[in-house]
Amino acid sequence: MSDPGMSMMASAPSLRFRLVAGTLVMVTVIWVGVTVFAWRAAVHEAEELFDAHLAQTAALLVALSGDEPEEIAEHLPEHRYVHRVAFQVWQGPVLLAHSQGAPETPLTTEASGFSNSLGGEGGWRVYSLEDAQTGYRVQVAESLRERGAVSRELVWRLLLPLGIALPVLALALIVLIRRSLLPLSRLADSIGERSADCLDTIPMSGVLRETRPIIVQLNQLFARLAQSFDKERQFTADAAHELRTPLAAIRAHAQVALAEADAVQRNSALTRVIEGTDRTTHLVEQLLTLARLDSTQLVANFTSCDLRALAVEVVAQCAPAAMARSMDLEVEEGGPVPIRGDAMLLSVLLRNLIDNAIRYAPPATRVAVVLREVPPGLVVMDQGPGIPTEARERVVQRFVRLPGQDACGAGLGLSIVARIAELHGARLLIDDWSQGDDRPQGGLAVRVVFPS
C-alpha cells in the first residue's frame, strides 16, 4: 500500500524547481528580447558601416579622377572587403573605368546618393557621387548578398557568447539555488528525526532570515503542544485521583451490604452505594464535558441563542433539587437576550452555576438568575457563604475546592463555566451578592458578561 504522505510529496510543487524554472524563463525572455534588439542594432550598424565605406570609396575615386582612369585601381587601399566592391567612372554616357566585377551598364539610374538596384547576384547597394567641375560621375556598389553574409557573420560573432552564456547561467543558478536551499533541507531532516514526545524549541542560531518566521511559529506551536500535553497529563492524573475515592467508597459499601445480615443495615449500605454511584456519574459527566471543551473547536458552530429561554429551561430542570432543600429558585422576568453561542454549552454553564448555588447555599434560602440585555449576560446569585476575595482566581481551576466545605463535589463546576465563557469570549466575574439587607447569610454573585 502506498504512503499517502509520500504521494502528496511527490505531487507537491518543488520550490527549487519553481525558482530555477521561473528564473530561467524570465532570463530567457529577457535574453531573447536583448538578442533581437542586438541583432537589429548590429545589422543596422553594419549597414551604416558598409554605406560609409561606399561613400569613402566614392570620394576617393573622385579625388583620383584626375589621373588616368585605367590607373585608378592602383591607388585603391588594400582591405579585406576590397574585392567585393565594384565601381564605375562615367563622364556623361561614356564609361571611363570600372572594376573587374562591375558591369558595363550603369549600376543605378540615380545620379547621386544611396540606392538599391537589381543586377549581379542578389542586387547591388550603390552610392553615386558626381564631380561638377570635371563632370565625372562615380558609382560604387557592393553585392547585397555579400553584405548580408558579412552582416550575419558580425552578428553571429556578437551573439555567440550570449548563447553560450545562457546554459552556463542556468547551471550556475541550479547550483546556487540548491546550495541556498540546503538549510531548509537540514531543517526538514532535523524535524523529521524528532521523536513524537520531543517538543524542544528549534535553535535560532545560524537560521536564514527567510526561514526565521517559520521556525518562530514552529517553536510557538511546540510550546502550545507541550502546554496542552502537560494539561492533558495533569487532567488524567487528577481525574484518576478524584475517581479513586468514590469508587473505593462504593466498593466498601457494597462489601458491607454483602456481609450484612440485617435488612435495614443492608438497605442503608445499598442506599450509600446508589448515592456514591450518582456522585461518580456526576463527576464522570463533568470530566467528559471538560474533555470535550478541550478537544474540539466549537466556535465555528455558534448560532443565535436566547439566553433567557435557556435559563428558564435549566431552572426547570434544577427545580427538583432546589425543592428538596426547600430553596426558592427563580428567574427574573424580561425580554429575550440574544447572543451567539452553542446552546448546549450555555445550558451546561447555567446548570453548573445553578447546581453550585443549590449545593453550597444553606437550605431554605434563595437562588436567583438575573439576565442582562446590555451588555448581554447573566448573574446567578445565592445566599451561601460566598468565596473569599483572595481565593476567587483559584476556584476556577480544576479540582480546586475550598477548605471547610461540606457539600460533595470534585471542584470542576467553575472550571467548566470558565472554559465555556472563554470559548464564547465572555468575562467571568465572581462578586458578593449586594441587594441591600437581603443577604442575612452572606451571598455570592457569579456574573458572565458576553460580548455585545
- Mean pLDDT for all residues in the chain: 75
Secondary structure (DSSP) of 312-342: HHHHHHHHHHHHHTT-EEEE---S--EEEE-
Cis peptide leading into residue 375 (ω within 30°): yes
373, with CB counted inside 10 A (0-12, 13-18, 19+), is middle
User: Residue 309 — pLDDT band, cuts 50, 70, 90?
Assistant: very high
Residues of the chain with CATH 1.10.287.130: 212-292
Provide the CA 39 distance to its chain's centre, in angstroms. 45
Q: What is the mean pLDDT of residues 262-290?
A: 77
Number of neighbours of residue 37 by Cβ within 10 angstroms: 10
pLDDT at 80 over 80: no
Q: Which fold has domain 300-449?
A: Heat Shock Protein 90 (3.30.565)
pTM above 0.85, yes or no: no
Residues of the chain with CATH 3.30.565.10: 300-449
Q: Give SS3 for 73.
A: helix
Residues found in the chain: 452
pLDDT reported for residue 403:
47
User: Residue 312 — pLDDT band, cuts 50, 70, 90?
Assistant: very high
The per-residue pLDDT for range 11-54, each reduced to its tens digit, is 556 666 777 778 778 888 887 787 778 777 777 777 776 777 67
Residue 227 exposure: Cα atoms within 13 Å on the Cβ side: 7
Q: If DSSP states are collapsed to H, E and C, what string results for 214-244?
A: HHHHHHHHHHHHHHHHHHHHHHHHHHHHHHH
Residues 6+ apart with CB under 8 A from 309: 336
DSSP class of residue 378 equals E
DSSP class of residue 440 equals B
State the Cα–Cα distance between residues 106 and 95, nearest whole angstrom: 8
CATH code of 17-172, in short, is 3.30.450.20
**What are the Cα distances from residue 331, in Å, to 89, 298, 302, 310?**
124, 28, 24, 11
Q: What is the mean pLDDT of residues 68-90?
A: 57
The mean-pLDDT minimum among 101-105, 284-288, 333-337 falls in 284-288
Higher pLDDT pick, 176 / 279: 176
Q: What is the mean pLDDT of residues 361-374?
A: 89
User: Residue 306 — pLDDT band, cuts 50, 70, 90?
Assistant: very high
Residues 6+ apart with CB under 8 A from 24: 170, 173
Contact indicator for 127, 139 with CB cutoff of 8 Å: yes
Residues of the chain with CATH 3.30.450.20: 17-172
pLDDT reported for residue 308:
92
Q: Which fold has domain 212-292?
A: Helix Hairpins (1.10.287)
E strand map for 83-123: 85-91, 94-98, 113-117
β-partners of residue 130 are 137
Residues 6+ apart with CB under 8 A from 283: 242, 243, 246, 410, 412
Q: What is the mean pLDDT of residues 238-266?
A: 75
pLDDT at 236 over 50: yes
* Set of cell numbers at residue 59: 570620394
